[in-house]
Structures are given as C-alpha cells and as structure tokens.
A and B are shown apart, each in its own frame.
Chain A
Amino acid sequence: MSAVRAWLLVDVPRSRWQARCQRFFLAWLAFRQNAGAVAGLVIIAALVAVALLAPWIAGSTGVAPDLGNRLQPPGPVFWFGTDELGRDIFDRIVWGSRITLYIVGLVTLIVVPIGLAVGVVAGYVGGWLDSTLMRLTDVFLAFPRLILALAFVAALGPGLENAVLAIALTAWSPYARIARAEALTLRHSDFIVAARSQGIPHHRVLAGHVAPMCMSSVIVRLTLDMAGIILTAAGLGFLGLGAQPPTPEWGAMIALGRDYLLDQWWVPAFPGLAILVVSLGFNLLGDGLRDVLDPKSRS
C-alpha cells in the first residue's frame, strides 16, 4: 500500500502513465478533504449501484398491480407503503433510478458533444465564424428553458425521450461558452503550434488537443447543471409530459400521488424525497469538483 502511495507521490514521475495517475491521486486527496463533496459522491455512487442492481434489490417489477394491497402504509413489508394500484413504492423508486440515470446519460450525450463542437470551433477558428456561432449560442442561452420544453413536448408528443430532447435543446449553450473560452486561450499556445507544425490537420488538433483541455470545466459545469436537469425532467413528468404511466418515473409518481396526499401522504412523499436526495448529491459533488478541478473559483 505504502509502495503504491510512494509511487503516486514521487516528485518526478518516470512515465506518462505515472504522471497521469499522480494527477488523479492528488485531485482525490484534495477532494477527500471536502466532506460535502464526498457525501455527494456517495449519493451518486449509491444511485448507480441501485440502478445496476435493481432486479435484485426490488422484490417486484414495480409495474404490475396488486389490488389486494392498495394504499398500504409504510411498514416492515412495504417500507415506503404501496400506491393506489397496490404497487410497492420502494420497488418503483428503485426501478425509477434507472430512468433518472437514463435522463442524465442522454442529456450528457447530446449536450456535451454539441457544446464542445460549437465552442471549440468558434474559439479556435475565430473571426466571423466565432461571432456568428457565439451570437447563436447567446440566442439559445436567452431562451426560457421550461416554457420552450413545454412547447417542444407539445409538438413532439409527451414522452421521456421528447422531454429529454427538449431539455437538451436549450442546455448546450453554456458548454459552448466554456469551451470557446478555453479554446481561445489555447489557440496560440506553444504545444498547439508544435502540433500544427508537425503537419497534424486542424480537425485532429481540435479533437485531440483542444477539446480534452476543456473537459474539466465541462465536467464541473455538467455536474452542477445535472440537478437542474433532473428537476426539470421530473417537473415535465409531474405535468404528465415526460415519462408516461406505468413507467416508475419519480416526477410522474408524484403526480399520481397528488390525489392521495390528504390521507395517504406516503404515495407522493417518497418519490419527491428521492428526487431531492439525488439532486442534492449532484449539487454537492459539483461544488466539490469545482473546488478541486477549477482552482480559479476557490474561495
């Protein structure tokens, strides 16, 4: 153990691999100091674990009705009680974690490539292309996100994928701004000039040298944004425009539980708690990552 530690903390790394490991280890040491950030990491890790192990954690599929056990209060058999169709709310929340992760993954897959591509090209190429792309980015940045998502879902029809698409449509613009700012400072740096003078074509410089340098800022921003994205997706689900029944999406579960609030509070209470915990996790993790990866904003 101490040998590994010594290898990780040696003053002059011998190989690229060692240097890279070292950087991660030092970041981890700084990250570990931040109790909130570690709590956030634990929450997100738990979310991923629950989503992966859902078939083994949940006793039922969470979809099939069991009318004999309608609206049972929380107890030793049904930890979080049952809903109006007798489905175990705990099981539904467990299965719902997969949907939350699916939303997170899908938004990331759409938003990061678009934002990176627009921002990196704008910053690297400069000139009229830069101003055009940035004007476009500003236009999207100024859009009202939730209302536009509503209008999009209205046009495309309710559904989880459409809701995510609608969110992603307005979410990419901050990433373009971040990537442009990074690309702008890198454009004339020595290692880029060196790469160019070796005859590496522009698109490979962009993809292989400029884009990776933007990743840490992008990851920080993405983690901080994720809570908002989860809340927006849950909100669309709550309005009946996101995932459709019987999918155990947390926002939709709250909407179904609304009618039972007065006498069976547990039906809407627990899904909301799940949303709160997960978005809290992303916010905590994002704050911690920002302190570690982005020394400029350290206070």
Chain B
Amino acid sequence: MPEGRTGSQLDRNRNSLLVLAPRRIAGTALSLVLTFAGLTAVTFAIARVMPADPVLAIVGDRAHQDVYDAVYRELGLDQPIFVQYLRYLGQLFEGDLGVSIMTAQPVLHDLLRFFPATLELATVATLLGVLVGVPLGVLAAVRQGRWLDHLIRTVGLFGYSVPVFWLGMLALFVLYAKLGWVAGPGRIDIFFDGMVEPVTGLILVDSALAREWEIFRNALGHLVLPAGILGIHSLAYLARMTRHFMLEQLGQEYILAARVKGVPERTVIWRHAFRNVLVQLITIVGLTYASLLEGSVLTETVFAWPGIGQYITSSLFNNDMNAVLGGTIVVGVCFVGINMGSDLLYRLVDPRAR
C-alpha cells in the first residue's frame, strides 16, 4: 500500500533492492556453479565406474595392443582423473554430449527433439496443479475443521500416496479403453503425425499457430489424461502448502484488524491474506514444476509419451550410456535452474527475505 508510506521510505527501499540484489544474485550464482559441478562430477563418476571398457567399445576385442593403447591415450584415459574431468566439462560446455548408440545421432540433437514433449506435459500438469490445487488449499483453510476441509485434506493425502504409474494405467483403462472419453497413448493420432510444421516443438502451440484447430483438439485429447495424472501430485502438494500458508496468515493480527474494521470476508481472504501467500507460493510452484519435469519419466512410460524420460529409459535398456548421462545432465540442469530461479524470484519479490 504505497499511500501509507512517505516518498523517502520508498526511495530507501528501492535503493536497498539495488544494493542487495547483486550480492544475492552472486550468492545464488555460486550455488548454481557448485551444484552444476557436483552434478557433472556424479555423471562423470558414473561414466567412469561403468563396467564397460570405453576403448574396447571403439576398437573391438580383436584389435592389436598398439591400436588399443593409441585409442586409450586419445581418449585421455592416461591422464590424471582431475584432468579427465576438466576435459569432460569442456566437452559439456561445447554442447558435446557424445553420440547415441541407439539413434547414431549426437545426444544433444536427440534431446532437443524429445524435450518439447516433456516440457509440454510438465507445464500443463503444473498449470492444472496450480489452477485446482491453490483454490482448494484456500478453501480448506477458510473452512478449517469442517467437512470440506477434511475432504480436501483426504484427497490431498491420497494424491501424494498413490503410485502415479499405476493410477495412470487404471485411468487409461477406464477413461480410454472402457469409456472412450479421452484419446489413447501417444501425443497425437497417427493420422495427424507430422502434419504441423514444428516451430516450438510444442504441439499445442504449433497447431494453434498454424490454425489447425482439429489437430489442436486431438493433441489436447491426448494430453489431458497424462497431464492430469502427473499433476495430481503437485495438486495435492500445492493444496496442502496453500492451506498451511493461509492458516498462518489468517491467524495474524492484521486480518483481525481488517475484520474488525468491517472489511468484507472475501476481500480479507483474497486481497489481504492470499496476497501474502502468493509470494510464498512462488518457491513451491517452482519446486513442483522442477520435480514434474523429472517425475514425468514414469508417466511417459505409461502413456507412451515421446519425451525425455522415455528417451532415457529406453536408452538405459540399450546400454546407451551417452544418451542416459546426457539426459540426466539436461534434466538436472533444468531442475537446478528452475529451483534457483524461483528462489531468486522469491527473494526479489518478498521484502522480508532481503
């Protein structure tokens, strides 16, 4: 409420934001670098402890010892492990994740092809979680202790106790096979496959851009069930956290003051309490979005969704280590990036966190 403050106070706040923000950003950047170093160290260690001999994989087991030694040196395996790690980091920064055995393409190229499907799925799932979970949480807090609160809490408890892959299978069985309400596995009917020009790789966006509404509807029919199933977990978590934050706010004195003043209950809840909750929710939404990006592995398997999770698991069964580790790094970087980003946003938006 700016009218309650003097101009000099506002100026001071703005100044402190300008002074403090770079330091916060530097701190976050340091954690980002450390976390990335840790992540790559782990993937590097996994690549090293693999029982397979990388040299044998290239030269075959009937190669002469000299050839073997030459390739051994060429791969840098005679160097100290720290040097090898730095070399590995250098390759990563050039976007070189190696070549996939399965598709014979550079791993990065494959990942870019599969990533939009996962992004689309996780984004829609998060949107569903936010649009349903947050209002439910507010409702539960307002009706604390009544049957509606108990109902919402029970549904939430169910939401984070259910094995998502199992629920997805049952939903596919009932809603697709028995009732025919939604489209089946995959991103789109085979008939429409490849009919829209991939601009962003997100079928919903691409078909909307091309004004192919039939394709848009078809893609939506395919997306709604996996996104809903994937979103259940985030819905439950968001509802729980929103309820918790709301109760915290509703117990504060400024709410009591507003009520005593005669402010309508709707305004008290949405304009006063919920506004303060909104800031706290940024971090939670970021967390769930990141965890859905990685958690989509199981949902993608159930719904034959051609995303990054399926790429990683199918590569895994083909012993395609470059693809597995490349996928791990890309998902890991997104995961870490989103978490840090939402943390940073929270600090910038909430004056109390500065």
Which residues of the partner chain B approach A78 to less than 8 Å between Cβ atoms? none
Which residues of the partner chain A approach B169 to less than 8 Å between Cβ atoms? 254, 258, 261, 268, 272
Contact A151 B46 (CB under 8 A): yes
Contact A146 B244 (CB under 8 A): no
Which residues of the partner chain B approach A275 to less than 8 Å between Cβ atoms? 163, 166
Interface membership of A38, Cβ < 8 A: no
Q: Known interface pairs A150-B316, A261-B169. Does A234 touch B295 (Cβ–Cβ under 8 Å)?
A: no
Task: With a 10 A CB-CB cut-off, give which of B167, B298, B325 has the most chain A CB atoms.
Answer: B298
- Which one of B37-45, B71-79, B122-130, B278-286 is at the interface? B37-45
Which residues of the partner chain B approach A251 to less than 8 Å between Cβ atoms? 163
> Within the complex, what minimum Cβ distance (angstroms) separates B151 from chain A?
13
> Within the complex, what minimum Cβ distance (angstroms) separates A157 from chain B?
8
CB contacts under 8 Å to A, within B275-332, are 290-291, 293-295, 297-298, 301, 312-313, 316-317, 321, 324-325, 327-328, 331-332
> Within the complex, what minimum Cβ distance (angstroms) separates B27 from chain A?
11
Q: Known interface pairs A227-B161, A275-B163, A276-B162. Does A147 touch B173 (Cβ–Cβ under 8 Å)?
A: no
- Which one of A13-21, A56-64, A133-141 is at the interface? A133-141
- The majority secondary structure among interface residues of chain B is helix
Contact B163 A234 (CB under 8 A): yes
Which residues of the partner chain A approach B34 to less than 8 Å between Cβ atoms? 135, 138-139
Interface membership of A86, Cβ < 8 A: no
In Å, the complex CA distance between A136 and B317 comes to: 31
Contact A151 B325 (CB under 8 A): yes
Which residues of the partner chain B approach A241 to less than 8 Å between Cβ atoms? 316
- Which one of A24-32, A103-111, A177-185, A279-287 is at the interface? A279-287
Contact B317 A254 (CB under 8 A): no
Which residues of the partner chain A approach B294 to less than 8 Å between Cβ atoms? 144-147
Contact B321 A154 (CB under 8 A): yes
Q: Known interface pairs A139-B38, A147-B331. Does A155 touch B46 (Cβ–Cβ under 8 Å)?
A: yes
Contact A235 B38 (CB under 8 A): no
CB contacts under 8 Å to A, within B58-84, are none
In Å, the complex CA distance between A262 and B294 comes to: 29
In Å, the complex CA distance between A139 and B51 comes to: 26
Interface membership of A299, Cβ < 8 A: yes
Which residues of the partner chain A approach B166 to less than 8 Å between Cβ atoms? 238, 254, 268, 271-272, 275-276
In Å, the complex CA distance between A135 and B295 comes to: 25
Task: With a 10 A CB-CB cut-off, give which of B31, B328, B340 has the most chain A CB atoms.
Answer: B328
Which residues of the partner chain B approach A268 to less than 8 Å between Cβ atoms? 166, 169
Interface membership of A191, Cβ < 8 A: no
Partner of B165, one of A155, A235, A283: A235
Partner of B324, one of A150, A156, A235, A271: A150
Q: Known interface pairs A265-B173, A283-B160, A284-B157. Does A146 touch B35 (Cβ–Cβ under 8 Å)?
A: no
Binary flags per residue of A215-241, CB closer than 8 Å to B gives 1, else 0: 000000000000110010011001111
Contact B173 A142 (CB under 8 A): no
Interface membership of B336, Cβ < 8 A: yes
- The 17 sampled A-B contact pairs (Cβ below 8 Å) are A143-B335, A144-B290, A144-B294, A144-B328, A144-B332, A147-B332, A150-B313, A150-B328, A238-B165, A239-B313, A251-B163, A261-B172, A262-B177, A272-B166, A272-B169, A279-B163, A280-B157
A interface residues with partner B (beta carbon < 8 Å): 36, 135-136, 138-140, 142-148, 150-157, 227-228, 231, 234-235, 238-241, 251, 254, 258, 261-262, 265, 268-269, 271-272, 275-276, 279-280, 283-284, 299
Given known contacts A143-B38, A269-B170, what 9 new A-B pairs fall within 8 Å (CB)?
A143-B42, A147-B294, A147-B328, A227-B160, A235-B297, A254-B165, A258-B169, A272-B167, A279-B161
